[in-house]
Amino acid sequence: MTSDPSLSGLPKAVLAALTKLGIDSQFDLVLHLPLRYDDETVLHPIAAAPTGAPVTVEGTVVDTDVKYRPRRQLVSRIGDGTGVMGLRFLHFYGSQLRQLAPGTRVRAFGEVRSGLLGPEMIHPRYRVVRGEMPLPRALTPVYPTTAGLGQETLRRLVGRALAAADTADTLPPGLAGRLGLPAFGEAVGLLHHPPPSTARAALDERSHPAWRRVKFDELLAQQLSMRLARERRRAGTAPALVPRGTLTRARVAALPFRLTRAQRRAWRELERDLARPHPMQRLLQGDVGSGKTVVAALAALQCVENGWQVAVMAPTEVLAEQHHHNFARWLAPLGVGVAWLAGGLPRAEKRAAAARVAEGAAKVAVGTHALIQDEVEFDRLALAIVDEQQRFGVHQRLALRMKGGARAGATPHQLMMSATPIPRTMAMSYYADLDVSVIDELPPGRVPVATRLFSAARRDEVVRRVRDACVAGSQAYWVCPLIEEDTGEKPAAPGGRPRRARGRSAAQQMKNVLETHAAISATFPELKVGLLHGRMKSDEKAAVMQAYAAGAIRLLVATTVIEVGVDVPNATLMVIENAERLGLSQLHQLRGRVGRGGEAAACVLLYAEPLSAAARERLKIIYENRDGFEIARHDLRLRGPGELLGARQSGVPMLRFADLEADLDLLDAARGAAGELLRADRAAARRHLERWLGGRHELLKV
Ligand code: ADP
Ligand code: MG
């Protein structure tokens, strides 16, 4: 259960509770910092005890009785010469009646309210005072805890750990001082036992220098581990894919559009990276519709020009199928074979595709997770492209890179794409070991999508309008949110934070999409209405998407399977039901499916009332903003980096203390210090990493 021998003397139940809190070592206890503090350092006269915050009073019991109205309860009254205070207990033991016998001296800590018969405390913490009992000299820490582990026990354990653990400074002398930060041991000592003179607001807001020291150390550990990962990668070898231009130039010339300036810049960065004999690890970021796919295709061609193979992996079958379609369309005329590998393929077809990949007949393999299954082996893999990378876990991305295993000693280059723009602070922090290219410009002629909000009460009206628009020649999506098995993101709970839907609610939403499809088809028989959801067979899905792309289907009723990457430029209208349940980035992604063809486009968000405050805020943000980076910043603020990175499974250790928005200056300082340590004092860097990450940092960010 625990690996640290210093904890091993503890009772099993305590150890189990500690494990639940993520505490495995003495040092974890040192870093188990208080949620807040109680001030028990001052004794207040009863008559002058302030209300609104818990205080300590002390007095002699006047009387103690069990009362039966309005319900059974124990009421004890204590007096200190200035006044009388009631202590009221709704749950109590019989023994308390004796313990609080008249004449007993009692010290009570709680919030004072004015009761019917004067001031009182409900369920105060109290102690019988015998002889001298000095007041605590520091604020009392209140720790995050779990069932079965009381504050008293935790305080004792933390106190012991503080005394026993090594809290010596890991930073070279002078560094902390230069940054205006206290020594580490001093900082954690203060946070656990702040003297009463400590500025309370600075403690509560975590802006106190002691807090800033802990946050700085955390950020420094993160930066160091990322830098080391990057160094390791740069020391590795990869096939040098020099730009020959034999295929890429022809491809660019045949495009029906000119690449945007931002696309050309990103492409140049890729071109240069791929030519190096070290594995590239680059994230290609760009808002929905900015045209990442064609840039990825050019990278693929540069790889093929050099006689190597490319894998292109996408998180949903619908998106992978679309990539396959595009890559085949773009590459086949150049004589480049493209294979298709998805989970839903008949066995024989899958085996045949895998064989073409293994023999090297197919230079490019496009697919879903099926690409990383055992039976798929590449002949000469030199580039792994992962679209919507935040949907994949670190192990899946790694598995894809390992597919080049046939050629020992070389690691394929990796290109990751993401349409969930990552705010600068987050990229600096979590992606410090990646190189990032940004396509910060949309192709010309895009018309901003008009966003409308409608209460679900007006659903019939919306249905009619969509019908009219489709009859008049438009193409529309009607989205019924459904939790997909193959995506990482879950719709947000009405109360705010996303939650995992249980089977039943998934079934309910499934019913919703089927019923909506049936109802709209029945009401408007003149309209060709299609249906798309994650549980359909692969070829059915592909057929529906093709019919929709070709315009044969005018209205597509779909689950959120269309959320990522789907590109049908003719579609100009989208309705999203239960929009109040979706997260910001999901709404932004969905909305980005329309407005791609240069014609005016609209997105209708239907919401069910009553709206929670959080849902109202999300809808307001999506209504007012269309820049993905702006929306991502809001998303980071509302949900935190864990959700935004898409995966708790991403392998990136989440920050516990530092806040990327509030502590930007510390992040900058930590970046600087990380560089300095790795140049000048690697021993200090190692000590610091060892303290913060233990053995764990070897696993980070593969
Ligand atoms: P995303 O970045 O969201 O993955 P896509 O790669 O799917 O975007 O591209 C969106 C659409 O824009 C596609 O239809 C694509 O063909 C088109 N497109 C890409 N680049 C350009 C460009 N430079 N000019 C015009 N259209 C473009
Ligand atoms: Mg895309």
- CA 258–ligand 1 middle distance (angstroms): 11
pLDDT of residue 352 exceeding 70, the answer is yes
In this prediction, residue 497 carries a pLDDT of 36
CA distances from 368 to 318, 387, 516 (A): 9, 10, 29
Give the tokens for residue 446.
């895009």
651: confidence class by pLDDT, cuts 50, 70, 90: low
pLDDT of residue 495 exceeding 50, the answer is no
- Taking alpha carbons only, the member of 289, 287, 284, 288 closest to residue 299 is 284
Task: Name the closest ligand to CA 290.
Answer: 1
In this prediction, residue 644 carries a pLDDT of 62
User: Between the ranges 506-520, 529-543, 676-690, where is the mean pLDDT highest?
Assistant: 676-690
In this prediction, residue 647 carries a pLDDT of 46
Nearest CA to ligand 1 atom 20: 291
Task: Name the closest ligand to CA 294.
Answer: 1
Burial class from Cβ neighbours inside 10 Å (0-12, 13-18, 19+) for residue 137 reads: exposed
pLDDT of residue 421 exceeding 70, the answer is yes
Query: Which residues are within 8 A (CB) of 580 and not within 5 positions of it... i.e. 6 or more apart?
Result: 494, 607, 608, 611, 612, 615, 618, 619
pLDDT of residue 553 exceeding 90, the answer is yes
Burial class from Cβ neighbours inside 10 Å (0-12, 13-18, 19+) for residue 339 reads: buried
* Between residues 701 and 133, the one the model is more confident about: 133
Greatest Cα-to-Cα distance within the chain, rounded to the nearest angstrom? 98
pLDDT of residue 44 exceeding 90, the answer is yes
Mean pLDDT of 375-402: 82
Peptide bond into 653 cis (omega under 30): no
Mean pLDDT of 381-397: 82
In this prediction, residue 485 carries a pLDDT of 36
In this prediction, residue 509 carries a pLDDT of 67
Collapsed DSSP state (helix, strand, coil) of residue 311: strand
Q: Are 78 and 60 in contact (CB under 8 A)?
A: yes
In this prediction, residue 506 carries a pLDDT of 64
Pocket-testing residue among 265, 290, 568, 570, ligand 1, by greatest number of atoms within 8 A of Cβ: 290
Report the DSSP beta bridge partners of residue 43: 56
700: confidence class by pLDDT, cuts 50, 70, 90: very low
Residue 451 phi/psi, 5° resolution?
Answer: -105, 130
Does this model's pTM top 0.85? no
271: confidence class by pLDDT, cuts 50, 70, 90: very high
Q: How confident is the model over 613-632, as pLDDT tens digits?
A: 999 999 999 999 988 888 98
235: confidence class by pLDDT, cuts 50, 70, 90: confident
* Between residues 70 and 121, the one the model is more confident about: 121
Q: Are 105 and 81 in contact (CB under 8 A)?
A: no
Q: How many CB atoms lie within 10 A of CB 182?
A: 18
pLDDT of residue 84 exceeding 90, the answer is yes
DSSP tag of 420? S
- Taking alpha carbons only, the member of 297, 294, 323, 295 closest to residue 566 is 323
Which one-letter amino acid corresponds to residue 17?
A: A
In this prediction, residue 32 carries a pLDDT of 95
Query: Rounded distance, CA 384 to CA 399, Å?
Result: 10
Residues with beta carbon inside 6 Å of ligand 1? 257-260, 263, 286, 288-294, 419, 443, 565, 567, 569, 596
Mean pLDDT of 266-275: 97
- CA 596–ligand 1 middle distance (angstroms): 8
Q: How many CB atoms lie within 10 A of CB 335?
A: 9
Write the DSSP assignment of 286-301 as a string of letters.
E-TTS-HHHHHHHHHH
Task: Name the closest ligand to CA 284.
Answer: 1
pLDDT of residue 407 exceeding 90, the answer is no
pLDDT of residue 166 exceeding 70, the answer is yes
Query: Which residues are within 8 A (CB) of 106 and not within 5 positions of it... i.e. 6 or more apart?
Result: 58, 59, 60, 61, 76, 78, 87, 100, 126, 127, 128, 129
In this prediction, residue 448 carries a pLDDT of 85
- Average pLDDT of every residue of the chain: 87
Nearest CA to ligand 1 atom 4: 292
pLDDT of residue 260 exceeding 60, the answer is yes
Query: Rounded distance, CA 266 to CA 286, Å?
Result: 10
pLDDT of residue 488 exceeding 50, the answer is no
Report the DSSP beta bridge partners of residue 114: 119
5: confidence class by pLDDT, cuts 50, 70, 90: low
Mean pLDDT of 548-563: 88
496: confidence class by pLDDT, cuts 50, 70, 90: very low
Walk across the sheet containing 55-67 and list its strands.
112-115, 118-122, 84-89, 73-79, 55-67, 105-110, 125-128
Nearest CA to ligand 1 atom 15: 291
User: Between the ranges 136-140, 270-274, 357-361, where is the mean pLDDT highest?
Assistant: 270-274
Q: Are 635 and 585 in contact (CB under 8 A)?
A: yes
